[in-house]
Structure 1
Amino acid sequence: TSSSSSSSSFSHLVVNNAKDSRKWSSIAPIKKCIFDVGIGLLAASVLVLSPLEANATRIEYYATVGEPDCELTYVRSGLGYCDVSVGPGKPAPRGQLINIHYTARFADGTVFDSSYKRGRPLTMRIGVGKVTKGLDQGIAGGEGVPPMQIGGKRKLRIPPPLAYGPEPAGCFNGDCNIPGNATLLYDINFVEIYSGNRSLPN
């Protein structure tokens, strides 16, 4: 992957809070449906990391193929979530840096980003508007969504008003990774709470 495409891949996750807040709107009523898992989901990024190097990482990247489907619960905001497994650790305090592994795809199943491709988890700050509202709510919890716990795996379906709304995102040199009004699907593995150069215990 070239450095320009890598930068584009990650820039789509940085939120312009003022712009993002104007995009949020009322959404459909609460409902449930079966979330059909393809080759992975996930996304959240504020760092540019190294490209994929190890075959072992490729194996992890495709490991979600065999994961069981789970039934998405839709909360009033329009976010859909389900826990493949609830982690044994504690939730992360809002504002805390955490490490996650993720894969992200569009509603048609096309994967557009994954930490597994780069061979290391992503460090991100949770619950303070550094990523889209849907990711913050899906990981930190709130409005009917329980917070993720360390070691947990969760699937998210984020509608456009909680993602990037009608505007394209992740644009670099005129090319945009995410079209306007895109529904985004995520598969998130909450690896650990991060602090400086060391990880905190569960």
Structure 2
Amino acid sequence: SSSSSSFSVSHENNANVSLKSKFCTKRLFDLGIGILAASIMALTPSEADATRVEYYATVGEPSCELNYVRSGLGYCDVFVGFGVEAPRGELIDVHYTARFGDGTVFDSSYKRARPLTMRIGMGKVIKGLDQGILGGEGVPPMLVGGIRKLQIPPALAYGPEPAGCFSGDCNIPANATLVYDIKFVRIYSGNRK
């Protein structure tokens, strides 16, 4: 039939297909797969970029073995850092990715494309972050430029109450163990309270 002949390619024509044509066909196929994947995931291009940045900023880092202290906090340094430690009460910037114990990401500064500015050691964040960054009870203080993984037990996180609740939906279940990947970006010196 004429419709089948329009889709058939003879052996002669197949031998003459240039590498450029094959490359273009592959790129078009890859582009189609990429568009299909993005539409399935319902991501805007900027969200896709943020997800990629988050992936490379946390998953691509080498793993380390957690050390546990009496409070139940687990920590390990992926990279110790080169700067100074933050004094209690100082404003600092950190990048982070927060996950549940099963690896599900529930928050990340990388998605917002800017670090979190916080006052360290003043109870403005969960206890496990204060202890994991400032140090204490067997945990060494983080240094600027350092990258640390923290496993935070419920007692140093949100405890028996759900958290991150908006309009009745809670992002963090009660008694959740949280895993943070922290990158200590900078200290705003002279802003101590």
Tell me, yes or no, whether TM beats 0.5: yes
Query: Which has the higher Rg, Structure 1 or Structure 2?
Result: 2
Task: State how far apart, in whole Å, the 2-side matches of 1:193 and 1:158 are.
Answer: 23
Aligned equivalent of 1:59: 52
Aligned equivalent of 1:172: 166
Task: State how far apart, in whole Å, the 2-side matches of 1:103 and 1:152 are.
Answer: 14
Q: Are positions 1:69 and 2:67 aligned together?
A: no
Uncovered stretches (5+) of structure 2, i.e. residues with no partner: 1-44
Give the superposition deviation at 1:66. 2.1
Task: State how far apart, in whole Å, the 2-side matches of 1:57 and 1:111 are.
Answer: 13
Uncovered stretches (5+) of structure 1, i.e. residues with no partner: 1-51
Q: 1 or 2, which has the higher helix percentage?
A: 2
Q: Which has the higher contact order (CA 8 A, sep 6+)?
A: 1
Give the alignment partner of residue 84 of structure 1, picking from 74, 78, 102.
Answer: 78
CA RMSD of aligned residues (A): 2.1
Q: 1:62 is paired with a residue of what secondary structure?
A: helix
Partner AA of 1:62 in structure 2: Y
Give the superposition deviation at 1:172. 1.3
Number of aligned pairs?
A: 147
Q: 1:191 is paired with a residue of what secondary structure?
A: strand
TM-score in terms of structure 2 length: 0.71
Task: Say whether the 8 Å CA contact 1:53–1:118 is kept in structure 2.
Answer: no
Task: State how far apart, in whole Å, the 1-side matches of 2:83 and 2:178 are.
Answer: 27
Q: Are positions 1:157 and 2:151 aligned together?
A: yes
Task: State how far apart, in whole Å, the 2-side matches of 1:76 and 1:65 are.
Answer: 28
Task: State how far apart, in whole Å, the 1-side matches of 2:50 and 2:115 are.
Answer: 11
Task: Say whether the 8 Å CA contact 2:47–2:111 is kept in structure 1.
Answer: no
Task: Say whether the 8 Å CA contact 1:123–1:194 is kept in structure 2.
Answer: no
Runs of 4+ in 1 over 3 A off after TM superposition: 52-59
Give the alignment partner of residue 148 of structure 1, picking from 125, 142, 154.
Answer: 142
127-136 vs 183-192, greater mean Cα deviation: 127-136
Give the superposition deviation at 1:54. 7.4
Partner AA of 2:149 in structure 1: K
Give the superposition deviation at 1:59. 3.4
Give the alignment partner of residue 185 of structure 1, picking from 173, 179, 183.
Answer: 179
* Identity fraction in percent: 75
